[in-house]
Structure 1
Amino acid sequence: MDFTFNEDQVALRDSVSRFLMTEAAPEVLRDIWETDRGRSPELRAKLAEQGLTAMSVPEVHGGLDLGDIDWSLMTQELGYYAIPDSLSDTAYVAAMLLRRLGADHPLAARWLPRIAEGSARLALAHPANPWVADALSADLVLHAQATDQGLALHALTPGTVSAVSLPSIDGSRRLAALSCTPNPGTQVLAAPDAQGLWDETLDRAAVNVAGQLVGLAQRMLDLSVDYVAQRKQFGKVIGSFQAVKHHLADVATRIEFARPVLYRAAMAVAVGDRHRAALVSHAKLVCADAAWTAGRKGIQVHGAMGYTWEVDLQMFMKRAWALGAAWGDRAFHKARLADALLADGAPLGPAATLN
């Protein structure tokens, strides 16, 4: 399978990376973390100017009409710079959900142009995520209501839902517990018609998180490499010690093995692969493992100071811990993967390998 990205995709990724390098430096992130909302309207506006908010919006609504494969590159950049904003929840996951309703659907026609221009923030409430990111500041909450026939889709505005703020180890994750009573007036799509849409959204959201985890792992590796190249012990930089090299080589290996699994999962979501659930769960597991390993090894080479506020590593490590349980924790994805591998017609063998 060819995972070569075209020139336009690479150019977009590189331009976004250069932009975030200056606009989302660690000292900027610390300042944003300490604000009441944990969000920067100025940064969000600049992200919109770069076209990120319009990526998944159809051209008819002022967007770029890009999809899952393109986002598999962008989510890594958002993770690498630990952007303190659930941008991809709105611009990627929620936008794609609205697209699936149809360009002429009233909800899509109303909200997709606002997403494209960066003036709307959407939150997604799903049983896989009992705590909803950015629910307190969302202009619209897309809510999956459990019914006897499956999940229904409801659109809740601030006046129809209340949210209680919850703490997070990651200072940029603004979580809330929702309290709402969906009614026929808020229902967009009834169950079971909405169930397939929510299943797709769950997988897309998991791929979104997996991409960010790979980006976080790469950033923690880079920070660790920079540190061991400068820190000296016994008259030598500690990066010259074999044990330290082994720690960081382990991280690099896990990242390199995680990326193609991420891209395969993104492609499965894009084309509606019949083994989509297994491929997505595989990606979430290996990408989370790469990030957890990067955090653990990073702490080992930094020493206890890696946990402290003054060291940049702790911001990326905390984000990795928080995202590891987002849109399905390890138990959820291991169970899905086991069900797929033990089922008849499982995606096994050279022609359908998960490796």
Structure 2
Amino acid sequence: MRFGRTPEQHAFSEALDDLLGAAEVPAAARAWAAGDHSAGLKLWQRLAELGVTGLLVPEEHGGVGATPVDLTVAFERLGYHGVPGPWIEAAAVAPALLEGSDDSAILSQVASGETIVTVAAPGGPYALDADIAAKAYGVFDDIVVELTPDALKPSVDPQRRLFIMSAGYPITARIDPSSARDLGTLACSAQLLGAGLRLLDDTVAYVKQRTQFGRPIGEFQAVKHLLADVRVALDFAAPLVHNAAVEIDAEVPTAARAVSAAKVAAGDAAYLASRTALQVHGAIGYTREFDLSLWILKVRALVGAWGTPADHRARILESLVECR
């Protein structure tokens, strides 16, 4: 069993960094939050050309047919750069939800980036960015249903435009919706991990420049300890995210538990990174004009998305009890 990334996955990650590092992602994210999707949609198309939208789409539908590990590589970089849009829903969940369904033909358009779809996460009637999606789906009693948007619901993260949805027509599907849910949770975990890494990198850069008493504040032992704690938390979360992807790919019976463990660890680590970044930056970290806030708010929202920490801890406990 491989626990490291392949050279191809490293190259894919670097290609995403090159593309997103040259783009004005924070500006696109702010415009997206204000309802202007033009810059974000252009970025969506450029990422589609790299294969991100088609990672889990089968090759017969024009996709890449990649593995869950490849998915985590992409979503870690999406989280690191703060890319807006329903990426989890379109790239991670929809392929698993629609493969073998009456709507499977739309997957070829999803893979090419021509069409955006979204999916309501379990536990609530809210779908992300339903206003720009060609179709929205939800799962009720293990039945896939097409949804229609009713009203916009405010989110702690303005980039996450949540819509209250109404149920429409059922879609015939021949898959287990839980697999789609686990892929969504896995992608969310990788996105949290990437966002936490970005917060840490930006904070390390800041403490090298910010001076107090004639010295960079990064030289103070208390600051070093704070950042070291974040580094350790992220380093512990990363293998859990990778392991969850490997277990899903291998269809290991404990894959669901591994996914929940990854979500808890990545969420805790990213949240610690956001709190530490805010503490170290001081008052400037509270301002919406400062880019740091984009990642702080995204982490706060994603921690509760695709299952709260309490939900996943309960799932882990239930799995362990069943193994006794």
TM bucket by the smaller chain?
A: over 0.9
- Give the C-alpha shift of residue 18 in structure 1: 0.9
Tell me how far 1:29 sits from its aligned partner: 2.8
Q: Distance in 1 between matches of 2:149 and 2:184?
A: 23
Question: Given the alignment of the two structures, is residue 119 of structure 1 paired with residue 114 of structure 2, yes or no?
Answer: yes
Residue 144 of structure 2 is aligned to residue 153 of structure 1: yes
Distance 1:130 1:155 in 2: 12
Alignment of 1:252 onto 2:252: no
**Distance change >3 Å, CA 217–CA 249, structure 1 → 2:** same
1:20 and 2:20 aligned: yes
1:188 aligned partner, one-letter code: T
1:324 equivalent in alignment to 2:324: no
Amino-acid identity (%):
34
My pick for the range that moved more, 71-80 or 88-97, is: 88-97
Which whole-Å deviations, capped at 9, do the CAs of 1:58-101 have from their partners, x for residues lacking one? Answer: 222222211211011111000001101112321222113223x2
Contact 1:220 1:313 in 2 (8 A): yes
**Which residue does the alignment assign to 2:172?**
188
- Displacement of 1:136: 2.6
Alignment partner, residue 301 of structure 1: 280
Deviations 1:272-292 (Å, cap 9, x if unpaired)? 211122111110000000100
1:221 corresponds to which residue? 200
Among 123, 126, 129, the residue aligned to 1:131: 126
**Conservation of the 8 A alpha-carbon contact between 1:155 and 1:188:** no
Could you say which residue in structure 1 is the equivalent of 2:151?
A: 164
Number of the residue aligned with 1:49: 49
Instruction: Report Cα offsets for 1:194-222 as digits up to 9, x if no partner.
Output: 5xx11111111111100000000000000
CA RMSD of aligned residues (A): 1.8
Alignment gaps of 5+ in structure 2: none
- The answer to whether the 8 Å contact 1:93/1:201 transfers is yes
The 5 A counterparts of 1:80-99 are: 80-99=80-99
Is this contact kept in 2: 1:307–1:314, CA < 8 A? yes
**CA–CA distance in 2 between the matches of 1:163 and 1:67?**
35
Give yes or no for contact 1:24–1:83 (8 Å, CA) kept in 2.
Answer: no
Instruction: Give the match for residue 32 of structure 1.
Output: 32
Which protein has the larger Cα radius of gyration, Structure 1 or Structure 2?
Answer: 1
Q: Distance in 1 between matches of 2:28 and 2:183?
A: 29
SS at match of 2:131: coil
Q: How does 1:229-240 map to 2 (within 5 A)?
A: 229-240=208-219
Secondary structure at 1:162 match in 2: strand
* The one of 179, 183, 190 aligned to 1:204: 183
Tell me, yes or no, if structure 1 residue 290 matches structure 2 residue 279: no
Return the letter of the residue paired with 2:18: R
For residues 154-187 of structure 1, give each alpha carbon's deviation from its aligned partner in whole angstroms, at most 9, with x where no partner exists: 234xxxx2321111121210101112244xxx33
TM superposition score normalised by structure 2: 0.94
User: Quick one: structure 1 residues 19 and 233, their matched pair in 2 at CA, closer, same or farther if it must change by over 3 Å?
Assistant: same
1:37 Cα deviation from its structure 2 partner: 5.0
The list of structure 1 runs, each at least 4 consecutive aligned residues, that deviate by more than 6 angstroms after superposition, is none
Q: Unpaired segments of 5 or more residues in structure 1?
A: 346-355
- Amino acid of the structure 2 residue aligned with 1:9: Q
CA–CA distance in 2 between the matches of 1:22 and 1:90? 24
Matched residues in 1 for 2:122 and 2:204: separation? 39
